[in-house]
Structure 1
Amino acid sequence: MKYSFSLAAFAAFVAANPTPTLDKKDGTLSVAACASAVTIAPGSNPFASRTLHANSAYASEIAAAMANVTDATIQAQGAEVAKVGTFLWIDTIARVPLVTTMMQETPCTDIVGIVIYDLPGRDCAAKASNGELKTGELAKYKSDYIDPIVTAIKAAPNVAVALIIEPDSLPNLVTNANLTTCSSSASDYQNGVAYALKNLNLPNVAMYIDAGHGGWLGWDANLQPGADMLTKVYKAAGSPKQVFGVSTNVAGWNAFSASPGEFAGASDAKYNKCQDEKRYINAISPLIKKDGMPAHAIMDTGRNAVQGLRQAWGDWCNVNGAGFGVRPTSTTGDPLFDAFVWVKPGGESDGTSDPTADRYDSFCGKPDAFSPAPQAGQWNEAYFEMLLKNAVPQFT
């Protein structure tokens, strides 16, 4: 399957990647791949010499939205967002062919970011992003989802790839094991993540296992169990050498560094010393490393420009007043952080605010959640424009 581009999307893509060639016959793009196979050395920083790829899928989504906007400033700022490197979520089997598209369009200067996100019983502690596979369909996850992704990446050994492995999955097993939906998914989660890690352990790939965020596993009672869960699955996968560490704050709102911290004044703050992601990673990394797993991190800064917006640390849905955060960079100021990256595509909803809708989650109806909002993954133009307005740094 080949991805189709609108002219506007193609223009945005060309602006972000000056060397693509348009195939006039089928409308696909090709770029200058590396002349030889890419090897990302374990222990290195895979982002240090590469730019996070501005993928065509997000650029196309923005271009389609901007076609319905009359404000020239918003149009121009939207075009700039399309040039920012952003991870692509492969959250259904139907989207797996996009991996091949990403491989074909990524130049040698870039590293393409992909989120692996389709476990059986996905999103076991919430409703907004429930997946297509039911608990017990692990064999289908392996054969129809992971295996074709492996094939697509193997077919493009000259392309550097960064993978985030199954956001929220292992953290849910640490803190939500009391929920039937999570306890029944535990085996599929652990075996599915281990299978992904083992089979995606390719020389041109850097993998980061999702570790939630400081407001989740950063609590004193959760740090060691969280580290134990991560290293348990890592070892079950055979300690794959292309695991570089963890991802944090995926689709989240926490600050990298904030003093005293957004919830430092809460009555239970004494039980969580990880008041920002810097403190969280510096607290959990030694626990992970002690058990033999690489302990570097990448952090999602896509929507965390504004702090103090949430009523509670666990409020995760379409936080009102948010803004685009620091652009992707390997200059983080902390040796444990390989990069700040954009993971959640700004403008795509976290979940619907309509209480009568299928997959409605009460977190999306909270006072600090933006309303109205469509179903998870669908475009919300008003929210996108809010992210632009509140961006730090601003888009000009």
Structure 2
Amino acid sequence: MRSAPLASALALGALVPSSGAVPTAIVSRDSSNPFVGRKLSINHSYAASLEATFDSFIEEGDELNARKTRTVQGLGTFQWAPAISLLASLDAAISAARAEQNQGGVPQVVGLVLYNLPDRDCSAGESAGELSGEDGLRRYKNEYVDGWAERLSRASDLTFAVVVEPDAVGNMVTNQGVPLCAEAKPIYEEGIAYAISKLQLPNVNLYLDASHGGWLGWPDNLVLEAAQQFKDIVDRAGNNATIRGFSTNVSNYNPFKATVREDYTEWSPSWDEDHYTSSLAPYLEELDLPTRFIVDQSRVHLPGAREEWGEWCNVAPAGLGAPQKTDLENPYIDSLVWVKPPGESDGRCGLEGAPAAGQWFNEYVQMLVENAHEDVQPADSLERVTKSWWPQI
């Protein structure tokens, strides 16, 4: 997925009346922060990919960063299921989290990304999906979303945090001048509303994606339009459907708290994600929407790395951001998290030799580890910590 260039002057398409997504029963949900007292589950597939990074540091004689890589292998990262054929990855994530929770005694919050709308990534195409049009919407509902609901409903012993459709609302708000995005908007609205309605489960916390400060954080009209779009989608889900809150900065590079204000943020109140969430929250509150956020900090650009916010692909230099963290001064934040597995390429762009979107970019991962946030401390040993119930890698 990608972030769109700023297009605040684009007109919004007309709102599409509800066609009646099929809701599940109203449920009672715990209103507490799902990340407090729980560990974000390890993405074991991602941990396995990091073995190549570890080996590269060892070959270079860089023990310090090899040990930092060992630390990263034990940190929690969201897991993506971006195709119908990849729904089995949810089963693997559930099994691994359940085993660690039951045998290790550490309560888990399983971070997942629901990302397979028809004609997704309509403004760019680097992460275009498998589905398209009305037929794609039917498959999205019946095969993809219903598959999610079936699996998560059977895992009532686990707590889930689900990011819903990164970039979709951003494209609905700012990219209606792109023909494919204009055609996709009613499909996006119906598809997301259906997903919200089907995942009204007491152990599932839904975070509707809110892009990032450089996309939707500009005053006043764009923030208001974004908030209204969120409201329309949640209302369309029907049956008193609710979400926990919103995700920001997914797969992007904005710091939560910028140490240097970049020149390209001039005139924006949302010059980092701390300010963006604080700017957006009052608009959400006016519409009776929740004002809770998770912020992706898996990759954070270093000062001066970009000349404009529109640079979104394999930005360098960058480093791993702060991992899971709930004790923050911003009262709207549930947690800082790693949503985008840091190391998967954004596409064949940004840096020479970058692989296709989603493929492992080992040289880039090495840079991220070398520039990691201070909370990513090197492990005490070069040996990988393993437990009997972890999948073999």
The alignment's TM-score, normalised by the length of structure 2, stands at 0.82
Is the counterpart of residue 63 in structure 1 residue 51 in structure 2?
yes
Is the counterpart of residue 327 in structure 1 residue 327 in structure 2?
no
- Amino acid aligned to 1:97: A
1:154-192 deviations in Å (ceiling 9; x for gaps) = 111101110000000011110001100100101111111
- 8 Å contact 2:235–2:241 — kept in the other structure? no
Distance 2:87 2:47 in 1: 18
Show the counterpart of 1:123. Answer: 121
Match of 1:381 among 327, 341, 362: 362
Q: 1:71 to 1:94 in 2, by over 3 A?
A: farther
Query: Aligned Cα RMSD in Å?
Result: 1.9
Distance 2:48 2:212 in 1: 30
User: What secondary structure is seen at the aligned counterpart in 2 of 1:46?
Assistant: coil
Distance 1:177 1:239 in 2: 29
Match of 1:370 among 330, 339, 351: 351
Is the counterpart of residue 245 in structure 1 residue 226 in structure 2?
no
Give the 5 Å matches for 1:163-202: 163-202=162-201
1:305 Cα deviation after fit: 5.5
Distance 2:318 2:145 in 1: 33
- 8 Å contact 2:29–2:201 — kept in the other structure? no
Q: 1:105 to 1:54 in 2, by over 3 A?
A: same
Moved more, 302-311 or 248-257: 302-311
- 8 Å contact 1:40–1:205 — kept in the other structure? no
1:126-156 deviations in Å (ceiling 9; x for gaps) = 1211111113210001111111111111111
1:207-247 deviations in Å (ceiling 9; x for gaps) = 10000011110111310001001111011112755511100
Distance 1:203 1:41 in 2: 5
Give every structure 1 segment of 4 or more consecutive aligned residues whose post-TM-superposition deviation is greater than 6 Å.
none
1:302-360 deviations in Å (ceiling 9; x for gaps) = 111623311111211000111001111111221100000001111110001xxxxxxxx
1:71 Cα deviation after fit: 4.0
Give the 5 Å matches for 1:201-240: 201-220=200-219, 221-238=221-238
Distance 1:321 1:103 in 2: 34
Moved more, 237-246 or 343-352: 237-246
Is the counterpart of residue 262 in structure 1 residue 262 in structure 2?
yes
Show the counterpart of 2:40. Answer: 52
Q: 1:90 to 1:203 in 2, by over 3 A?
A: same
- Amino acid aligned to 1:48: V
- Amino acid aligned to 2:119: G
- Amino acid aligned to 2:343: G
Moved more, 41-50 or 144-153: 41-50
Is the counterpart of residue 93 in structure 1 residue 74 in structure 2?
no
Is the counterpart of residue 110 in structure 1 residue 108 in structure 2?
yes
Show the counterpart of 2:298. Answer: 302
- Amino acid aligned to 2:48: S
1:42 Cα deviation after fit: 4.3
User: What secondary structure is seen at the aligned counterpart in 2 of 1:338?
Assistant: strand
Show the counterpart of 1:78. Answer: 69
- 8 Å contact 2:323–2:336 — kept in the other structure? yes
1:75 Cα deviation after fit: 3.8
Distance 2:240 2:201 in 1: 9
Show the counterpart of 1:154. Answer: 153
Distance 1:62 1:145 in 2: 29
Q: Which runs of 5+ in 2 are unaligned?
A: 1-26, 102-106, 379-393
Say which structure, 1 or 2, has more relative contact order (CA 8 Å, 6+ apart).
Answer: 2
Distance 1:324 1:120 in 2: 31
Distance 1:71 1:239 in 2: 58
User: What secondary structure is seen at the aligned counterpart in 1 of 2:284?
Assistant: helix
The alignment's TM-score, normalised by the length of structure 1, stands at 0.81
Percentage of pairs with the same residue: 35
Distance 1:261 1:68 in 2: 34
Distance 2:323 2:33 in 1: 17
Show the counterpart of 2:132. Answer: 134
1:63 Cα deviation after fit: 2.8
- Amino acid aligned to 1:151: E
- 8 Å contact 1:42–1:242 — kept in the other structure? no
1:94 Cα deviation after fit: 1.4
Distance 1:218 1:144 in 2: 34
User: What secondary structure is seen at the aligned counterpart in 1 of 2:318?
Assistant: coil
Q: 1:68 to 1:94 in 2, by over 3 A?
A: farther
Give the 5 Å matches for 1:352-367: 352=348, 364=349
User: What secondary structure is seen at the aligned counterpart in 2 of 1:208?
Assistant: strand
Equivalent pairs, count: 339
User: What secondary structure is seen at the aligned counterpart in 1 of 2:319?
Assistant: coil
